[in-house]
Amino acid sequence: MTAFPEFHTYDGLGLAELVRAKQVTPIELVEEAINRIEAHNPRLNAVVYKMYDQARTAAKGDLPDGPFKGVPFLLKDLLATCAGVPTSGGNRLLQHLPMPRDSEMVRRFKTAGVIILGKTNTPEFGLLPYTEPEALGATRNPWDLNRTPGGSSGGSAAAVAAHIVPMASGSDGGGSIRMPASCCGLFGLKVTRGRTPTGPDLGEVWRGFGFEHVITRSVRDSAAMLDATAGPDVGAPYVAPTPARPFIQEVTTEPGPLRVAFTAQPFFGGTVHQDCEKGLEAAVRLLQELGHEVIEAAPQIDGEACAIAFVTILAGEIRADIEWAARLAQRKPSLADFEAVTYGLGLLGKAMSASEYASAARFLQTTARQVGRFFEQHDVLLTPTLSQPPAPIGALQPSGSEQALIKLIGRLNAGWLLSALGVIKPLAAKTFDFIPYTPLFNVTGQPAMSVPLHWNDVGLPIGMQFVGRFGDEATLFRLAGQLERAQPWFDRAPAGF
């Protein structure tokens, strides 16, 4: 028996308005969301930790009077630590290890009034663009259960697309909010570096590549949640520019004519599927109809060198993640406790010199300067979010022989062999072929959003990425609001959900 069957016809702000008007109670919303988890999660594997008792207690208590008072919500099982609940990051070693306190973002989510029902699936340490961790199993896309919802916020995106909750938290270190938003037909914004907090336990995430925000069905939910969570916390390493006014006001403000560059050119290599090219062409036509100046142009970067530098940084950061997880579990790092690709990349990070890490960081910072100059001439850049429609489950994983070789090198503890044998390079190329557009803007720190503007002939979502100037989420929210009004997507839903 459903508690509130009209649940999915409202976004988060809409549900909160009903709570304020006493047309529905928080506990009714919580019970409805729990019913939906129990009905849909066996097919999806989106929710990996259930926090029903805590949610029911919160719903019956005094909730903060935030913009989302009483709204059911899910946390990505990475970075977002919740006191007394594990944050596994998709890792078997951390799967049953409760965290001691809430992270600052979780504290701010709660202050916004949401009620946390559980945590959502993610690839190990958020490393991969698909959500198939060995420890917790693959998450499936509601639009096609044989396909990935993307990663690393795949569990959150699948839950939102399946109408389990109106929004869920995500993090983005190389596209991990935008990619699952694209795969699942949702709105996903990666915020400006320094816009949302990383404390109290972290400073930079992946050398400043990583950010937390939400995946939503409506643009206004994203804006309102950013208003609720933005701003520095104690000891923040840097702070994003202060917005002129609340982001929620931007959503209903017309952007005026913008100078929009567009490109199908994949920054980090690979080929682009015709469905993504068709989506880009349709987006260009829509922008022109809305009165924007649209020019084919793109930042000129050394994509192969950027990809190598990005992997170099990731190798060092993943090794640090491995050592941190092992310390939490009070044991030494071991291949038995990590997936082969994670451990192998960590071995490469261990084998690297400090100067290699620093040189890669310097190269990427120089590239970011070049990209910044491009945005002196353009307000927004448009690309496909991904180079392909959502990939089949398992299609992006290393082959059996690649896995076996990585495991052998892991047992030998010989990270230098990965580099000497060239094992990581083809695996990285396979990944970047799928995600050639998103990581660049984790490097630059610019805001970027995936907007669900296209579905292919078999009904799979194809998101379009829009990138703004550093600190300029306001322009993106204005444009997103205009696109949402011109070509609504809120009522599009996968069959059976």
Domain architecture of the chain: domains with CATH: 7-256+447-486 (3.90.1300.10)
Distance, CA of 486 to CA of 242 (rounded, Å):
29
For the stretch 174-183, pLDDT in tens is 999 999 999 9
Q: What is the 3-state secondary structure (H, E, C) of 74-97?
A: EEECCCCCCECCECCCCCCCCCCC
Per-residue pLDDT at 315: 92
The arithmetic mean of pLDDT across residues 147-151, rounded, is 98
Residue 132 burial by Cβ neighbours in a 10 Å radius (0-12, 13-18, 19+) = buried
Orientation of helix 219-229 relative to helix 473-486, angle to 10°? 160
Say what the pLDDT of residue 223 is: 99
For residues 259 and 226, the answer to whether their CB atoms sit within 8 Å is: no
Distance CA 292, CA 458 (A): 30
How many beta carbons lie within 10 A of that of residue 389, not counting itself? Answer: 22
pLDDT score of 419: 67
Q: Is 402 helix (H, G, I), strand (E, B) or coil?
A: helix
Q: For 213-253, how does the pLDDT look when each residue is reduced to its tens digit (9 = 90+)?
A: 999 999 999 999 999 999 999 999 999 999 999 999 999 99
Can you tell me the distance from the alpha carbon of 312 to that of 123, in angstroms, rounded to the nearest whole number?
Answer: 19
Task: Give the strand pairing for 380-384 and 461-468.
Answer: antiparallel
Per-residue model confidence (pLDDT) at position 233: 96
Nearest-angstrom CA–CA distance, 232 and 228: 12
Element (H, E) at 415: helix 415-420
**60-112, pLDDT tens digit by residue?**
999 999 999 999 999 999 999 999 999 999 999 999 999 999 999 999 999 99
Residue spans of beta strands (DSSP E) within 395-460: 448-455
pLDDT of residue 422: 67
What pLDDT does residue 30 have? 98
Q: How confident is the model at residue 5 (pLDDT cuts 50, 70, 90)?
A: very high
In whole angstroms, what separates CA 110 from the centre of its chain? 20
Q: What are 17-54's pLDDT values in tens digits? A: 999 999 999 999 999 999 999 999 999 999 999 999 99
Residue with tokens 């019913």: 35
pLDDT tens digits for range 297-310: 999 999 999 999 99
CA distances from 54 to 41, 66, 104, 219, 358 (A): 19, 19, 19, 29, 44
The chain-wide mean pLDDT, for the chain, equals: 95
Q: Which of 73-77, 158-162, 334-338 has the lowest mean pLDDT?
A: 334-338
pLDDT at 238: 92
pLDDT at residue 137 greater than cutoff 70? yes
Q: What is the pTM of this model?
A: 0.97
- pLDDT value of position 421: 56
For the annotated catalytic residues, the residue numbers are: 76, 152, 176
What is the pLDDT at residue 413? 74
Cβ atoms within 10 Å, residue 238? 11
pLDDT given for residue 405 in this prediction? 74
In order of 76, 81, 89, 113, 196, the CA distances from 107 in angstroms are 14, 9, 19, 10, 12
Question: Confidence band (pLDDT; 50, 70, 90) for 191?
Answer: very high
Instruction: Give the tens place of pLDDT for each residue, 412-423.
Output: 776 666 665 566
Q: What percent of the chain is predicted at pLDDT more than 70?
A: 97
Residue 429: which pLDDT band, with cuts at 50, 70 and 90?
A: confident
Task: Quickly state the pLDDT bin for 402 (edges 50, 70, 90).
Answer: confident
